[in-house]
Each structure stands twice: as structure tokens, then as C-alpha cells.
Structure 1
Amino acid sequence: MWRGIILTFGVAIIAKALAPFLPALGGETLAMFIGLLLGNTIFSNDRWSSGVKWSEKYPIEVGIALLGVTLTLGTIASLKLQGLLFIIAIMILTITFVMWIGQKLFKVDQQSAMLMAAGNAVCGSSAIASVAPAIHADDDKRRTAVATVSLSGTALLLVLPLIAPSLMHHNDMLMGALIGGTVQSVGQVVGTAALINQDVVTYATLFKMLRVILLSVVVIYMTHVVVRSEGADASVTTAKPKFKLPWFVTVFLVAVVINTVFPFPTMINHFGHEASSFLGVVNLAGIGLNLKWQTIRKSGVRYVGYGLVTIIFQIVVATALIYLIW
């Protein structure tokens, strides 16, 4: 594992060192593309994979927790009621559309459609992991959904930084709403926003936190859908959905409250900002190293099409909602 961790952090450090010489790209973009190149060539061996996967998932959680020391409740309040309404609306519409289009057009089974809906509407593989046992989905369905949703998130990571500034007229909060309301995993949200600027990272993270907090509601809803569809199946009706708020969300919220009541010293604010930014670069290095061409092939044409239709829907509907609400 340590090899992969050292490799990922090494790529991040190299990207940060090169960033001043390539300011148009920045450390985040460089980290992702260096990782993508190395991960599919000289570091494609499986012996690196466990450490790379760890580096893609866990350091960014620490980064999000640290972001809390730079914010106050006033920052969160700036989202206002419109922010909550936007997130609820985009989640409901995404779940409804993805479940419907999956079964009608792409002919996937109900469980696979539900896993895709949860992963795209909430928080990627974490949502899939929470929903899968509640609806009794097998490992093959879970893995396929995770691979497809991860690819969808990576596609948005590449596309949104290019189109969001024009769509949202360079408004940081609205760009954060678009990214935080559509991109799949927490790490991908931070990575996507980081390719624009740090203020967008802040807003995108806040919008994403609202989606993560609502995961419990999605798990309960999908459990009831399965119960209704399978009727008197005792193994389903007795199942109790399990959900626990991720630790980094809890720490993030606690830090925000503390910073509001007892403001942290400027030194701590600065450390939180810089550390969070660097761990975002590590996250993008991990995403690049972990994205393999065989993963794209493994998802199959049907699921790649399913994912593509889903992200187009998300971008169009999220943009329309933002124009309507704000």
C-alpha cells in the first residue's frame, strides 16, 4: 500500500512544483493528467493500486474536514433557502429520471437502476455502498454501478471547469451550485471546483454536504420502493437501512460552528486553507492514477451510454434550476 501512497503524493508534489511554470493549467490539472499518463503506462501494475485508491479516497476527507476551520455559519447561510431547494429538486429529478431511463431505455434491472440513481444523485460510490445492502443488490451490480458512476464523475470533472464559467457568468456561488449539485463523489466535486478557483471549492463543498446529509432519506426511500415492488418478501420487509453521517462531514460542521462562535487564529485559517488545497491536488493525482482504460471497457457500451445520458440530463436540469431559482 505504501508504494501507491508515496507515488500519489509524489505526483501531487511534482504537480505543485510545476504549477508556477504552467499557470494556465495549475497544480490540480497537472496532477490529474500526470497521474492519468503514469497510471496507464509505467505504474499500471496492480501493486500500486491499493495505495493509489487509498490516496484518492481518504486524504480529501481530511481536506474537507480542515476546510471547516476556514468557514463560518454565515458562509453556509449565504446559500439561503434557494440553495436547499436547488439540492432537493436536483436530487429528486435525478433519481426519478435515472431510475426511469435505466429500466425503459437501457433495460437494466430495478436494483441496478436504483444504484445508478443513488450514486449519481447523492455521493457516488459511498451512496451505492449505503443503498446496496438495503435493497439486497449483489456485488456484480454494485461494482458495475460504481465503475459507471466513477466514470461519469470523471467526465464531469473534465467538462464542467470548461463550461461552468460561461454557463454561470463567472459567478463563484452559482458555479459551486452547478458542480456541488451534479458531480458524483465528494472528491470529484472538490477536484472539479479546484480546476476553477478556491472560492468555487468552498461553495461546491457546501452544496455537496447538503447532498451527503440527505443520503439517509434516499436510503429509506429506496428501501420502501423495494418493499413495495417485492410485496410480502419477509427478508426485504424486515431489512433496516443503515446510515451514518461520514466523519469528515461531522468534523466539518463542528469546525464551522466553533469558528463562528470562537474564531480560529489567522494562522489556523491559513493552514486549513493550504492543507485543504494540497490534499485536493493529491485527490486529483489519485483520480488520474486510478482511472484505467480497462475500467471504461469493463463498464460496457450500455452502461457507458447510461452514464452519458445521465450526466447530460444533470447538467441541463441543474443549469435550468439555477436560472429559475436564482
Structure 2
Amino acid sequence: MCCSPRLLPGLALVAGLATAATLIGRIAPAVGAPVVALGAGALVGLARRRSVDEGGVFGPGLALTRQHVLGFAIVLLGLGLPFGAVLSVGRQTAVVMVGTAIAGAVAAVVVGRLLALDRESATLVAVGTTICGASAIAAATAVIKPDRERVAYALGTIFVFNVLAVLLFPPLGRMLGMSQEAFGLWAGTAINDTSSVLAAGAIFGPAAAQFAVIVKLVRSLLIVPMCVGLHLGQRERNEAGQSGTESNGNRAAWRVIPLFVVLFVAASVIAGFGLVPDSWSGPLGKVSAWLIAAVLAAIGTSLSWQRVRSAGVRPLVFGGALGLVLAVTCLGLQQLTGWL
């Protein structure tokens, strides 16, 4: 199957879109490759709808990309997150980061219910906002298998508030008299995607940018408990819908955790033991980012604007409310813990 000539057109298409998106993302880091890839895929889907459908010339390769590439990209992320390298930053910032994440999770439940948002959209926007943007949405997508249009809407929502954060955080940080490290902690904890964290930090100062990225990488480790929690919740709902059959009740414990999560943790441990050469860190991160862009391009080709419009503005309001909660909570916790 993986060598079938039928896959080649679709794989070539997403490879080209991901490469172009990566190049554009470097020029415009506030936008980022994930959003560019998604938009490019959507444009191709609108122009060549029959070609990108399942029975079209690009369909098999696009389907393979959407279904099987995400896990590999997430495992590569783990190789760039060595436990030892982030322990010191994690200890210093744990109260602020964990407290902010908990506040975001509580707000997601409360606001999601107030807005009567569907479960999939609420989950995707919530994990993207509270953990790490497109990477968290990609990981959640691999677990809960949501409608592709909801994935696209969630990424679009994250993009809007990433741009706003890059524009607003630096002047607000200066107005509050924040130090370089204090701003780095705020940006790394309250802004979604790494590209936007880096952009905001670079505007504030080089030391802020460096610290913000480290904080962001530590925050990304929350992908692991997030995926386990989502998988457990999905399993319970599936079992409840199947009348509690014996086969479901006797599943092996190891099957509760998605394989890519286990491999993600293993990769991070390997990196922590220094088994990954320092010279590999940058290339591995770039390959992972490129693969995520390829997946998002494939998702974009299947985008249906009619269904996106039918979702209304509620996911956008939801994302804005969560972003505000994160920013304010992080500032409050920084004040309490002496960072401000």
C-alpha cells in the first residue's frame, strides 16, 4: 500500500504545499507554516475539488497523510524535548505554567457549556489554546478523530489569536515594566504556537525570546497527559455507547495509551540521556514541523466552507475567552510567585 503508485500524486502535492508553507512561515513567523499550509490546502481543494476527493487522483495520498503522518511528527517532537534540559526551567516555572493550564481547562469547561459548543470543537480549541497551538491540535486529532472541518476551524481560531498576541504582548509587557525573563515566561505560557512565542519574544528582546522558547518547550510536554486523558475519555464514551460489552471491559491496560504518546515519551527520555546529538536537534525539529505542515495541507484540501460557516462565531468567541483567561491568570501567578 505504502509503495502504491496511486499514492504518489497526493504525497507529491502535500510535500510541495508543506515546503512552500515552511518557506513562507520563515518570512512571516507571526503567521506560521501550519496556517499557511492549511490555507494553501484549502485553496487547492476549492480549485480541484474532484481531484482531492477520496476517488480523485490526489485522494489516496492525501488520505494516507491525514491518517498516518501525525504520529510520526509528534514522536520527532519528543526528540527535541530532553527531560534533563528542561528540568531546571520546569522547576522555576511549574507553579505558573501548571496553574495557568488548570485555569484554562476550567475555563474551557465553563465557557464551552455557556456557548453550547460541540465537544470536538471545544476540545480542539481548548488544547490548542492552553497547551501548544497547532501541535496540540494535531495530537488531539490523532486521538479523537474529529471532523476535518472542525480541525480547520480550530486552527483558524488559534491563528487569529496568535497574531493578536504577537501585536499586543510586547507593548503590554513594556507598559507593565516586565523583565526579559518575566516576559519570556508570560509569552511562553500564554501564547499558543512556538512561532508566535518566538516572534513576540524577539520583539521584546533577545533574552526574552530565548527564555520564552524554553518555557514553551516545557509547556509542550503537557501533550502527554492531554493525549492520555482524551484517550480515556474517548474510550469511556465508546464503551458507554456499546452497552458495556465484555470485550470492551477487558481491554489490556496498555491499549489505553495511544502508541504515539508512548513513543513520544520514549523519544524525550532518549534525548534526555544525550543519545541524540546536539547537531540533530534543529533538523529533527524542522522535519517534525514540516510533517505537521504536510498533514495540515492535506486537511485543508478537504475543507468545506459551507460547514465551516455553519459553525458560526462561537468557536472564535470561545478561543478569545480562553486566551484572555490564560494571559490574565499567568500575570496573576507571576505576581504571586515573585516574577513581577
Task: Tell me, yes or no, whether TM beats 0.5.
Answer: yes
| Aligned partner of residue 313 in structure 2, secondary structure | helix
Question: CA contact under 8 A between 2:85 and 2:272: conserved in structure 1?
Answer: no
Residue identity in the other structure for 2:314: Y
Structure 2 distance, partners of 1:265, 1:130, is: 30
Give the TM-score, by structure 2 length: 0.64
- Cα RMSD of the aligned pairs, angstroms, is 4.4
Question: CA contact under 8 A between 1:5 and 1:52: conserved in structure 2?
Answer: yes
Structure 1 distance, partners of 2:60, 2:72, is: 19
Question: CA contact under 8 A between 2:122 and 2:315: conserved in structure 1?
Answer: no
Quick check: 1:285 aligned with 2:311?
no
> 2:78 matched to which residue of 1?
68
> 1:99 matched to which residue of 2?
113
> 1:39 matched to which residue of 2?
45
Give the TM-score, by structure 1 length: 0.66
What's the offset of the Cα at 1:160?
A: 1.0
Seen in structure 2, the aligned counterparts of structure 1 residues 167 and 236 have a Cα distance that, compared at 3 Å, is farther
Residue identity in the other structure for 1:121: A
Select between 147-156 and 310-319 the one with higher mean Cα deviation.
147-156
Quick check: 1:151 aligned with 2:163?
no
Structure 1 distance, partners of 2:12, 2:101, is: 37
Seen in structure 2, the aligned counterparts of structure 1 residues 40 and 101 have a Cα distance that, compared at 3 Å, is same
Residue identity in the other structure for 1:279: L
| Aligned partner of residue 264 in structure 1, secondary structure | coil
| Aligned partner of residue 47 in structure 2, secondary structure | coil
Structure 2 distance, partners of 1:24, 1:119, is: 22
Question: CA contact under 8 A between 1:33 and 1:288: conserved in structure 2?
Answer: yes
Task: Give aligned pairs, total.
Answer: 289
Quick check: 1:246 aligned with 2:252?
no
Seen in structure 2, the aligned counterparts of structure 1 residues 179 and 5 have a Cα distance that, compared at 3 Å, is farther
Seen in structure 2, the aligned counterparts of structure 1 residues 165 and 208 have a Cα distance that, compared at 3 Å, is farther
Select between 310-319 and 256-265 the one with higher mean Cα deviation.
256-265
Structure 2 distance, partners of 1:147, 1:215, is: 21
Select between 82-91 and 240-249 the one with higher mean Cα deviation.
240-249
- Aligned with residue 265 of structure 1, among 269, 272, 277: 277
Structure 1 distance, partners of 2:162, 2:32, is: 17
Give CA-to-partner distance per residue, 1:37-85, whole Å, 9 cap, x none: 2222135631234533543564343233223323322444324322222
Structure 2 distance, partners of 1:6, 1:167, is: 39
> 2:329 matched to which residue of 1?
321
Question: CA contact under 8 A between 2:73 and 2:291: conserved in structure 1?
Answer: yes
Structure 2 distance, partners of 1:280, 1:148, is: 17
Residue identity in the other structure for 2:155: G
Seen in structure 2, the aligned counterparts of structure 1 residues 18 and 262 have a Cα distance that, compared at 3 Å, is closer
Seen in structure 2, the aligned counterparts of structure 1 residues 195 and 4 have a Cα distance that, compared at 3 Å, is farther
What's the offset of the Cα at 1:93?
A: 2.0
Seen in structure 2, the aligned counterparts of structure 1 residues 280 and 217 have a Cα distance that, compared at 3 Å, is closer
Structure 2 distance, partners of 1:32, 1:121, is: 19
Structure 2 distance, partners of 1:61, 1:294, is: 29
> 2:163 matched to which residue of 1?
161
| Aligned partner of residue 40 in structure 1, secondary structure | helix
Give CA-to-partner distance per residue, 1:141-165, whole Å, 9 cap, x none: x75xx64454133221244134245
Seen in structure 2, the aligned counterparts of structure 1 residues 307 and 19 have a Cα distance that, compared at 3 Å, is closer
Give CA-to-partner distance per residue, 1:9-48, whole Å, 9 cap, x none: 122234456778x567887265444333222213563123
Question: CA contact under 8 A between 2:78 and 2:264: conserved in structure 1?
Answer: yes
Question: CA contact under 8 A between 1:98 and 1:116: conserved in structure 2?
Answer: no
> 1:178 matched to which residue of 2?
190
Residue identity in the other structure for 1:262: G
Residue identity in the other structure for 2:76: L
Seen in structure 2, the aligned counterparts of structure 1 residues 254 and 19 have a Cα distance that, compared at 3 Å, is closer
Structure 2 distance, partners of 1:61, 1:286, is: 15
Seen in structure 2, the aligned counterparts of structure 1 residues 262 and 278 have a Cα distance that, compared at 3 Å, is same
